[in-house]
Amino acid sequence: MKLIDSLSDEQKELLNRDGKIVLRACPGSGKTYTVSAKLADLISSWDSKIGGIATLSFTNVAWKEIDKNLTENEIYIKYPHFLGTIDSFINKFIFLPFGHLVLNCKERPQLVGEPHSTWNHNTGKGHNFYRPHFDKFSFDINGGIKKFGFIQNPFNNSGYADWNNFSKANALKMKNELLEKGYATQNDSNYFAMKILEENEFIAKSLVKRFPYIIIDEAQDTSDVQMRIIDILIDNGLENIILVGDHDQAIYEWNNAKPELFNQKYEDWSENSLILNVNRRSSQTICNHTHNLSSLESVSTISSTELSEITPIVEVCD
């Protein structure tokens, strides 16, 4: 298979391992391509008709790249497998079918706010000062009310309201009133999916049977709530899970990502974990320089003698 044959010896190490694995990858190491090859290898010998592989990422760009890599090799993702974002996985298999159990709403929950829609504060009956900001509030891992993003205040010259001027009690009251009507944001979905799995062991065990193998690309961008969901699945029998990423490439800390959780998993599963530290797109000079910004212990090496002949030109502009 071309997808696998083009891997380096370093990348092929992942094909020979199962269990709980963290794959740390330096920039330019081809981690998403390696994930694609691992998925292709698993599918080639997969014989279960009801349980599949869930391959997840944090952006549509990343999972579509995996899909493109497989399609070019005439491998197509179909039932019982799933390929998509971690949010879409949580929505489809946990929150939307079971959200009513924790929201106490009468119908299937409805996702609102970005990225699903623009929140219309006139939705539902009544109106108060906090309702327009429903999509800006959610919950931390302990259930405390938390602000996500900016809250615009038309009465403030700065354009944004001061969080300290908001009553958390009133914000929580507004939040709960609309949750009971079935409205939820993506952050709500993640939080309540965690609660669903915590409170309903049979759902967690069923999800593990449905997806006995999970691969998560860009795992440095997991939040504590999302990592808690992963831990619950492990506690309920998930034996094969691969977390792929790089602490230094975390880009969603503004949205509650905690790359230190990824690092902790690398320490916890160190006996079966791997590092990709061969850069396939930069010169050795660049690798030497960027190591000063890296948390990897050793300097990345290059995969091609052609790259070693490149002399980078640095220009400083005023």
* Residues contacting residue 88 through CB under 8 Å, at least 6 positions apart: none
In this prediction, residue 92 carries a pLDDT of: 98
From the centroid of its chain, how far is CA 226? Answer: 7
- Spatial separation of the C-alpha atoms in residues 215 and 35, rounded to whole Å: 8
The answer to whether 243 and 22 are in contact (CB under 8 A) is: yes
Q: Which two tokens stand for residue 127?
A: 């109106």
Which of 99, 110, 112, 57 minimizes the C-alpha distance to 82?
Answer: 57
Q: Which two tokens stand for residue 46?
A: 């997969």
Q: How confident is the model at residue 26 (pLDDT cuts 50, 70, 90)?
A: low
Give the tens place of pLDDT for each residue, 228-251. 999 999 999 999 999 998 866 645
Q: Which of 119 and 280 is assigned the larger pLDDT?
A: 119
- Spatial separation of the C-alpha atoms in residues 133 and 120, rounded to whole Å: 10
Of the chain, the percentage scoring pLDDT greater than 70 comes to: 74
In this prediction, residue 159 carries a pLDDT of: 44
Q: What is the arithmetic mean of pLDDT over 177-204?
A: 96
* Residues contacting residue 209 through CB under 8 Å, at least 6 positions apart: 50, 51, 237
The answer to whether 191 and 139 are in contact (CB under 8 A) is: yes
What sections of 163-254 are H helices per DSSP?
168-179, 186-199, 201-210, 224-235
Q: What is the arithmetic mean of pLDDT over 212-230?
A: 95
Q: How confident is the model at residue 277 (pLDDT cuts 50, 70, 90)?
A: low
* Phi then psi dihedrals of residue 3, to 5 deg: -60, -40
Amino acid at 168: K
Q: How many CB atoms lie within 10 A of CB 310?
A: 14
